[in-house]
Structure 1
Amino acid sequence: MNHDLAMTAETLAELDAPQRGSEWRQHWPMLLVATAGMMLCTVHVYTLGVMVAPLEREFGWSRTQIFSGPLILALTGLFVTPMIGSLVDRIGPRRVGLIGVPVFCCSVALLSTATASPASWWVLWFVVSLASILCGPMVWAAGLNSRFVKNRGLALALALCGTGAGGAFIPALTEAFIGALGWRQAYIAIGALAAVITVPLVLFAFHPLGQAGSVKAMFGKSGGAKRAQGGRSLYFQTRYVKLALAMLLFGFPVSGVIVNSVPILSSNGFTQASAAALAGVIGIGAIIGRLVGGYLLDRLNASKVTAVAVMLPAVSGLLLLSGPTSPVTAGAAFMVLGLAVGTELDACAYLTAQYFGMRNFGALYGMIMGLLVFSNGLSPLIASFIYDKMGSYMPIMWASVPCALLSGLLLFSLGKPPASPDADPV
């Protein structure tokens, strides 16, 4: 092997360690931190819905003005996430996490300083957007990928269950803080509590492979140069374009359906309460899909497992297009949709590492995450615009069918992953 591409002896020994013992026994603290980090990523999202009523009362803002925050998040993520991904490659996920976690917690607390001017709200959300990327999923995924090899898929799946835990606990916690302290102090309390829990975890238990998980630590002195050289060319490699396009085709229509799931059912005769209850099936399906998908990624052909998963929304779309007037049909459509969504995000991280290695993981995964964040912010607005103009969500559901099928075909065409993706940067 070329000396410039050879890993250090220390790194090779660490890579061989899982062969001598259990990854779970050795690296469970990393999994705990990554799960907490994934939960932290959702704080600003899951607090917003609970904050709507207090903000309306105090400032008289419209809901469009209040929910402009996620759109700012989407636009920022599109351009900044790839750059932060490169930073993860350069200095390692540990150092990025140690910076990002406290900065993000402070940015959440700063939302308490909003004034009656919507511009102040937009500026604060821009700060939150930047900070959230510094402690986003690619930081925790990079750390896990560096430690878990045999059980990588399941480890990523378990960590990503932190987002589901965030959805389960953060809204109720936010409501309790608002009732006791008011909305401004609630934002401060949430930011402080998040910092107290996550900062010590990252400081004492988040130790990716190598000194900090950086490319130089993992691949020696030439790692940075090879990372830059390989990263630029990998962006245009056919396999990477296929993977990125497949994730974008999957995410764009699906996020529009998920966010508008309650209105979709309401337009088919369901009451608001029953529509909300049925929409919750998506979350249950996502948890099941995450765990089962992670298990299968470790044991079967990962690209084919992901291809089948991303095609499932075609089934959901057809069920919803049939006019779901029964809870069984609607529940089945949303369960299938949840299974697909649960598999997709950890599969994306898994496939990026499997096909392109860890040398450029942050930059490559960051680019895909930026596209997903942008599409997830834009798609619900487009779906709502279509409904306002046409009085129906059917176009977005029709779009989900070919998009899901094409996404799956792109993943099926990836072929066999390279035996040593880090040893031969393009």
Structure 2
Amino acid sequence: MSLIDRPVAAPVRRPHDHRAWWIVAVAATAIMAAGAFGTLPGLLVAPLHHEFGWSHGTTGLAMWVNMALNGLIAPFAAALMERFGPRRIAAAALLTIAAGAALTTVMTAAWQFTLYWGVLIGLGTGAMGGTFATVVTNRWFVRRRGLATGILTASGVFGQFVFLPPLAWVVEHLQWRAGTVTLAMAALVVVPLAWFWLRDHPSETGTTAGPSASPSAPPRARPFQVLRGAARTRTFWLLAGTFAICGISTNGLMWTHFVPAAGDHGMAPTTAASMLTLIGIFNVAGTVASGWLTDRYDARLLLAVYYTLRAGTLFVLPQLLGPSVHPPLIAFIILFGLLDVATIPPTIALSAIRDRFGTEESAVVFGWTLAAHQLGAGLMALAGGLLRDALGTYTMVWIFAGLLCLVAALMSALVPAPAPGAEPRAR
């Protein structure tokens, strides 16, 4: 029986929702600790150039490896979590992240930066990304699943941006190694919390839950089995394509290159980092609101609107950057922040359409779409640095990303509508 034809049992209502929200709180803390590593590379471009003479392209290569592995590990992390539980995977991922950050402080060559930051931190943060949130919400929620997804997504974004201003100050006034060590310690602190307080399944707390049996396929084989089934659908390829463009325009461009791009226009690193922090603050509101909207409206329409508006913001950004902060730039920060990761809840919802993939496979399916997201992000992190080295400006990079967002809006509208009753809705 194929993946697409496999009957999927209806989820069972789970009582004692307050226990599920405690799990969300613990998972959000772990995601926040891992997410803090997402935007730090933007602060390291200038210090690494001054200390080692590395170009934007050299640091961009390590960031490309980081983001590519971050995405490619996602479906395998989802399969491992379904077999061994998210608690063990979260603890191992946080330890890997801390080790990579600590080793970065003693590096002396560019290949070491690629290994420590690119490989170790890329794998660790990938395991703690969107598939972790998907596994948690699929296991613990039937009602308010979109809201829970929005909260966990927002926690990752919050972690990416809340540390930026103090880290920017540390990097500027002390040394970049001090900022890296700070984040390594934060990841280590959260390991005991994840290990002792996170629960793998509602049945561990005596709560009624859906099927808890482990998948029959080995963790290393199951992602490919799910991919073979999902790849037969047009929905999967449209979601993977739109999410790749999402990664290009957010992680790969804004989160990696905004600080150095603002520096090209005379803005101080601490000021630029503060602007990214504001984006992160509005990310939280935008993502939670998007989760609420996803529970109620057509996810395809939401994605088309989000990508269209994001394209408009990217087109105007080159005219807004300068040495100081002014009202039009603040307006950009607010709007881009609301849209930045608002795409995740509707993308997860479309990955969980039961007549396409099946509820049990949705985390792995989303893992593959997340892989496309991070591959696109890594490509832009590298290409953006190379283009900046070649052209001396980021202007054409912003415009190109905006055009791609318009393509993503069209692709979102072309996602086939789910069969009646197949799309997950709040009960």
TM-score range, shorter chain: 0.7 to 0.9
The aligned residue for residue 3 of structure 2 is none
Distance 1:384 1:69, change over 3 A: closer
Change (3 A) 1:176 1:421: same
Q: Find the partner of 2:230 among 231, 234, 243.
A: 234
Q: 1:77 aligns with which of 64, 70, 73?
A: 70
Q: CA distance change for structure 1 residues 266 and 239 in 2, over 3 Å: closer, same or farther?
A: same
Deviation at 1:305, TM superposition (A): 1.8
Aligned residue identity for 1:80? I
Give the stretch that moved more between structures: 178-187 or 305-314. Answer: 178-187
Give a deviation string over 1:185-232, Cα, whole Å, max 9, x none: 8756643443333433343233335669xxxx8364776499675542
Contact 1:94 1:207 in 2 (8 A): yes
Give 1:124's aligned amino acid.
Y
Query: Aligned AA for 2:116?
Result: L
The yes-or-no answer on 1:130 pairing with 2:131 is no
Q: Distance in 2 between matches of 1:322 and 1:189?
A: 35
Moved more, 169-178 or 370-379: 169-178
Residues 252 and 189 of structure 1, relative CA distance in 2, 3 Å threshold: closer
From 146, 149, 163, the equivalent of 2:139 is: 146
C-alpha displacement at 1:316, in angstroms? Answer: 1.1
Q: Which residue of 2 aligns with 1:248?
A: 244
Deviation, 1:299, is 1.9
* 2:117 is equivalent to residue 117 of structure 1: no
CA distance in 1 between counterparts of 2:288 and 2:160 reads 17
Q: Distance in 1 between matches of 2:153 and 2:390?
A: 36
Q: 1:258–1:134: structure 2 CA closer, same or farther, 3 Å change rule?
A: closer
Question: Which residue number corresponds to residue 320 of structure 1?
Answer: 317
Structure 2 alignment gaps of length 5 or more:
1-5
Deviations 1:318-368 (A, max 9, x none): 433667789333333333222221302333233322453432233222222
Mapping for residues 6-21 of structure 1, pairs under 5 Å: 15-18=12-15
2:147–2:292 Cα contact (<8 Å) kept: yes
Task: Pick closer, same or farther for the CA change 1:389–1:70 going to 2, 3 Å.
Answer: closer
Task: Work out whether 1:342 is the aligned partner of 2:306.
Answer: no
SS at match of 2:232: coil
Residues 285 and 342 in structure 1, CA contact (< 8 A), matched pair in contact too: no
Distance 1:318 1:104, change over 3 A: closer
Deviation, structure 1 residue 27: 0.8
TM-score, length basis structure 1: 0.77
For residue 291 of structure 2, the aligned residue among 265, 281, 294 is 294
- Matched to 1:16, the amino acid is R
Give the secondary structure class of the aligned counterpart of 2:401. helix
Matched letter for residue 337 of structure 2 = G
Q: Aligned AA for 1:206? A: R
Whole-angstrom CA distance in 1 between matches of 2:132 and 2:312: 33
CA contact (8 A) 1:109 1:191 kept: yes
Say which SS state the counterpart of residue 417 (structure 2) adopts: coil
Match of 1:366 in 2: 367
Aligned to 1:28: 21
Residue 243 (structure 1) shift: 0.8
| Deviation digits for residues 235-292 of structure 1 (CA, Å, limit 9, x no counterpart) | 231111111111112332444255444565677x775477666555433432221122
Letter in 2 for 1:191: A
1:88 aligned to which of 71, 75, 81: 81
Aligned partner of 1:35: which letter? A
AA aligned opposite 2:111? A
Greater mean alpha carbon deviation, residues 278-287 or residues 336-345: 278-287
Tell me the CA shift for residue 33 of structure 1. 1.7
User: 3-state DSSP class of the match of 1:299?
Assistant: coil
- Rounded to whole Å, the distance in 2 between the matches of 1:364 and 1:416 is 18
Q: How many residues are aligned here?
A: 403
Structure 1 distance, partners of 2:349, 2:163, is 28
- 1:39 Cα shift? 0.9
Tell me what 2:351 maps to: 352
Opposite residue 407 of structure 1, the aligned amino acid is A
Deviation (angstroms), 1:311? 1.8
Q: Name the structure 2 match of 1:159.
A: 152
Distance in 1 separating the partners of 2:168 and 2:317: 33
CA distance in 1, matches of 2:393, 2:177: 38
Shift of 1:51: 6.2
Q: CA deviation at 1:143?
A: 1.0
What one-letter code is carried by the residue in structure 1 that aligns with 2:229? S
Equivalent-residue separation in structure 2 for 1:191 and 1:278 (angstroms): 24
1:411 is aligned to 412
Flag structure 1 segments of 5+ consecutive residues without an equivalent.
none
1:181 & 1:394 partners in 2: Cα distance? 31
Q: What does residue range 387-402 of structure 1 map to in structure 2 within 5 Å?
A: 387-402=388-403
Q: Over aligned residue pairs, what C-alpha RMSD do you find?
A: 4.0
Q: Matches of residues 197-236 of structure 1 in structure 2 within 5 Å?
A: 197-209=190-202, 218=211, 220=213, 224=217, 229-236=225-232
Report Cα offsets for 1:366-393 as digits up to 9, x if no partner: 2222222222222133234334444554
Deviation of 1:144 (Å):
1.7
- Aligned-partner Cα distance in 2 for 1:264–1:188: 25
Partner residue, 2:280: 283
Aligned to 1:375: 376
Q: Hey, which of these two has a bigger chunk of helix by percent?
A: 1
Cα gap change, 1:95/1:350 in structure 2, threshold over 3 Å: closer, same or farther? farther
Structure-2-length-normalised TM-score = 0.77
**Counterpart-to-counterpart distance in 1, 2:410 and 2:168:** 44
- Alignment of 1:306 with 2:303, yes or no, is yes
Structure 2 residue corresponding to 1:62, chosen from 14, 39, 54: 54
